[in-house]
Amino acid sequence: MKIDYICPKCEAPGRVAVDENCEQLTCPHCQAETRVPKDAIQDERLSRCMVCPSRELYVRKDFPQWLGVLIVAVGIGLSCVTWYYHQVILTFVILFGSALLDMLLLLVVGNQLKCYRCGAEYRNVPGIDSHHPFDLETHERHRQQAARLGKQPPSA
């Protein structure tokens, strides 16, 4: 399993590879050690975040959302140009092509787990299908809690 997280001590992004027997995460920048809770992996399934005390994780696609938006935006932009020049068939080819490319990325790219509280991202996690997708209510609860504590919440 691979974890991308923000070090609680130096706040630098770090990436580590761990297995289910891992007892601590070591920051590659400041060498700070974060103790992994013993109950983080139960029945070969990640049941809680290994970086913070949160038990709330969600499944999302393992590619940046801006990439999908960029594909659709470029498709719309190009189709506007072809529509202006009265190339109706080419306009629809571009629109459907960009939508198809976006859908193919959605189907081909794998999933990752992400922590609502600290934003840690987990890749190659066994049992990922047993987790739920993003829930706005849970995200908003963590965002409001971070705002009350004066901390910057992770982006969804």
Q: Give pLDDT, residue 150.
A: 82
Under a CB-based contact definition with an 8 Å cutoff, are residues 131 and 57 in contact?
Answer: yes
**Buried b / exposed e across 55-73, counting CB within 10 Å, b at 16+?**
ebbbbeeeeeeeebeebee
pLDDT tens digit sequence for 108-153: 999 999 999 999 999 999 889 899 999 999 999 999 998 998 876 6
- pLDDT the model gives residue 155: 62
pLDDT higher for 156 or 48? 48
pLDDT of residue 115: 97
Nearest to 111 by CA among 133, 139, 142, 138: 133
* pLDDT tens column, 55-87: 999 999 999 899 989 999 999 999 999 999 999
Label residue 41 by pLDDT band (50, 70, 90): confident
Q: What is the predicted pLDDT for the residue at 30?
A: 93
pTM of the prediction? 0.82
DSSP per residue, 107-140: HHS-EEEEETTT--EEES-TTGGGS-B--HHHHH
Instruction: Tell me what pLDDT residue 38 has.
Output: 86
Please state, in angstroms and rounded to a whole number, the distance separating the CA atoms of residues 69 and 36: 36
Extended beta strands in the chain, E state? 2-6, 13-17, 24-26, 33-35, 41-42, 45-46, 57-61, 111-115, 121-123
